[in-house]
Amino acid sequence: MDIKKYRKILSENLFSNNPVFVQILGICSTLAVTNNLINTLIMASGVTLSTAFSNFTISAIKDLIPRKVRMIVQVLIISFYVIIFDLFLKAFIPQVSKVLGPYVGLIITNCILMGRAEAFAQANPPLLSFWDGISSGLGYMYVLCTIAFTRELLGFGTILNIRLMPDSFLPWTIMVMAPSAFFLLGIFIWIVKGPLLQKGGNKK
Amino acid sequence: MNRNSKIYTVLFTFLISFVFILVLSFFNGITIERTEKNKTLSTIKAILNSMAIVYADDDQAYTIFSESIKYEKKESLDIYTFSRAADTAVAVIFSGSGLWGSITGSLAFDKDISMLLGVDFISQNETPGLGGRIEEKWFKEQFKNKVISENPLELSTNKTGKGIYNSLNNEIDAVTGASLTSTYLLNIINSYIYKVKQVLGVS
């Protein structure tokens, strides 16, 4: 019974209700951090962990939260985890914290976290909410990684800072700049949504 | 108690803020020492890197710094002087505004202020992957052994973004897609070259 529920949440968050290409949330960071795969991976793990833990916490205390201050409390809990993540990076992986700079703190404003808190954690038990957070994070991660892979390969000729393209390869400057993420995300949505829409059509 | 009453709402908000902030400050307390240590270490490393001094690990960096480097403040400049046997170098901590926030780092000269030895950064908030690439080796290497001439350093934007490594030429290749950050950075560096020349009495 439960396993089925967990699997359904996973497939929804990864595909049919993906936070990035279906709900179009978290686009700001999709544009900002995807020109380098390592930054993207760290950013996405930050989002995944913060979403999971904030979902868990919000769900655990949801019966105590007065409706009027519901959102303030959600933001408080989300920022709590994001700040912990930031402190952790600063203390233990300073190189990474240096590279990502202000972006880590900006996870607080990532719409996916607030969206999952409000849409899922408010109405579901803690463990299920935790899982929803993890799977939403993964859904976000693989879309961003696909975009980052393309951008880093064409923009710098490298993957994970390892040179893959021959020396004669001329880097595409546009891939390093934020607008290219728009194009790539558009192409990604176009490719992925085709089959999804067809499936939806058949059901009717 | 009524969950939607005013008193409950106020109490709840107060309590939950209190609890979460308490935990946060506790966490901050246990990591602050490490964070501070990382900061000092990154400053030390930046100074050593800019002077092109090689060290094997963090401990060695500490030792070299405490044994061979002297600090003095001259007319608002933070100056670090390195001397070990015949080797000497002077580094100055620079700071100025980049595109998004301040850029600080260390800029090293030979003892006659006739040549740059190198540059390294302590902190910067430029866009990761764009302006943030000033931290990359190929970019910093361009400043290595640049002869200081009458002319300030100039930004070149017509190369392929691979760096210009000619010590007699005053051009620095910009980071592709980040000409603003590169321009601001070069302005900071030029102004510090000027200041150091004035303060250390070599014109």
pLDDT digits (tens, 9 = 90+) for A45-94: 999 999 999 999 999 999 999 988 999 999 999 999 999 999 998 898 88
Q: What is the pLDDT of residue A204?
A: 45
- Annotate A34-79 with three-state secondary structure: CCCHHHHHHHHHHHHHHHHHHHHHHHHCCCCCCHHHHHHHHHHHHH
pLDDT at A182 over 80: yes
Identity of the residue in B20, B24, B177 whose CB atom sits nearest the CB atom of A177: B177
Do the Cβ atoms of B145 and B138 come closer than 8 Å?
no
Span A134-155, average pLDDT: 93
Put simply, the answer to whether B125 touches A101 (Cβ < 8 Å) is: yes
pLDDT at B203 over 80: no
Token code pair at residue B121: 């950064």
The pair phi, psi for residue B115, each rounded to 5°, is -150, 145
Put simply, the answer to whether B34 touches A91 (Cβ < 8 Å) is: yes
Q: Domain range spanning residue A110?
A: 25-197
Which residues lie below 8 Å from residue B125, measured CB to CB, with a gap of 6+? A101, A102, B98, B100, B101, B102, B103
Q: List the single residue in B with minimal CA-CA distance to A152.
A: B129
Cβ contacts of A170 on chain B, cutoff 8 Å: 160
Find the chain B residues whose C-beta atoms sit closer than 8 A to any C-beta of A. 3-4, 8-9, 12-13, 16-17, 20, 23-24, 27-28, 31, 34-35, 38, 42, 100-101, 123-130, 132, 135, 160-161, 176-177
Cβ contacts of A85 on chain B, cutoff 8 Å: none
CA–CA separation, B183 and A101 (whole Å):
21
Cβ contacts of B125 on chain A, cutoff 8 Å: 101-102
Query: Whole-number mean pLDDT of chain A?
Result: 87
- Residue B88's nearest CA partner among B110, B67, B108, B70 is B110
Residue B18 lies in a domain: no
Residue B111 lies in a domain: yes
User: How far does chain A reach from its first CA to its final CA, in angstroms?
Assistant: 26
Q: What is the pLDDT of residue A113?
A: 92
Span A176-180, average pLDDT: 83
Give start and end residues of each alpha helix (H) in A93-163: 94-100, 111-119, 126-156
Put simply, the answer to whether A98 touches B42 (Cβ < 8 Å) is: yes
Q: List the single residue in A with minimal CA-CA distance to B11.
A: A66
Q: Give the CA distances from residue A99 to residues A35, B81, B128, in Å, rounded to whole numbers and listed in that order.
A: 13, 29, 6
CB atoms within 10 A of CB A50: 28
Most B CBs within 10 Å, among A50, A57, A76, A151, to test the B interface: A76
Span B59-84, average pLDDT: 88
Give start and end residues of each alpha helix (H) in chain B: 6-50, 58-68, 137-141, 179-199
CB atoms within 10 A of CB B34: 14
Do the Cβ atoms of A179 and A151 come closer than 8 Å?
no
User: How far does chain B reach from its first CA to its final CA, in angstroms?
Assistant: 78
Residue B153 lies in a domain: yes
B140 to chain A nearest CA, in Å? 16
When divided into structural domains, chain A yields a total of: 1
A177 to chain B nearest CA, in Å? 7
Residue B94 lies in a domain: yes
Q: Give the CA distances from residue B162 to residues A23, A125, A149, in Å, rounded to whole numbers and listed in that order.
A: 40, 54, 21
Residue A90 lies in a domain: yes
Instruction: Tell me the ipTM for this assembly.
Output: 0.79
Residue B10 lies in a domain: no
pLDDT at A112 over 70: yes
Span B53-59, average pLDDT: 88
Residue A7 lies in a domain: no
Q: What is the DSSP letter of B83?
A: E
Q: What is the pLDDT of residue B161?
A: 65
When divided into structural domains, chain B yields a total of: 1
Token match 């030390």: residue? Answer: B44
Cross-strand bridge partners of residue B118: B108
Express as a percent the part of chain A with pLDDT over 90: 42
Q: List the single residue in B with minimal CA-CA distance to A148.
A: B129
Residue B88 lies in a domain: yes
pLDDT at A1 over 70: no
pLDDT at A101 over 90: no
Q: List the single residue in A with minimal CA-CA distance to B34.
A: A91
Span A9-36, average pLDDT: 84
Considering A184-198, B31-45, B151-165, the range whose residues carry the highest mean pLDDT is B31-45
pLDDT tens digits, B183-195: 999 999 999 999 9
Residue A76 lies in a domain: yes
Most A CBs within 10 Å, among B10, B16, B135, B173, to test the A interface: B16
Token match 């949504």: residue? Answer: A193
Q: Domain range spanning residue B80?
A: 43-199
Distance from chain centroid for Cα B78: 13
Put simply, the answer to whether B38 touches A64 (Cβ < 8 Å) is: no
Q: Which residues of B128-160 are buried (b: 16+ CB within 10 A; e: fewer)?
A: bbbbbbbbeeebbebbbbbebeeeebeebeeee
Put simply, the answer to whether B135 touches A77 (Cβ < 8 Å) is: no
Put simply, the answer to whether A99 touches B135 (Cβ < 8 Å) is: yes
Residue A14 lies in a domain: no
CA–CA separation, B199 and B63 (whole Å):
28
Span B114-140, average pLDDT: 87
Q: What is the pLDDT of residue A123?
A: 92
Identity of the residue in B23, B132, B161 whose CB atom sits nearest the CB atom of A99: B132
- Residue A109's nearest CA partner among A148, A136, A84, A75 is A75
Q: What is the pLDDT of residue A160?
A: 85
Put simply, the answer to whether A67 touches B4 (Cβ < 8 Å) is: yes
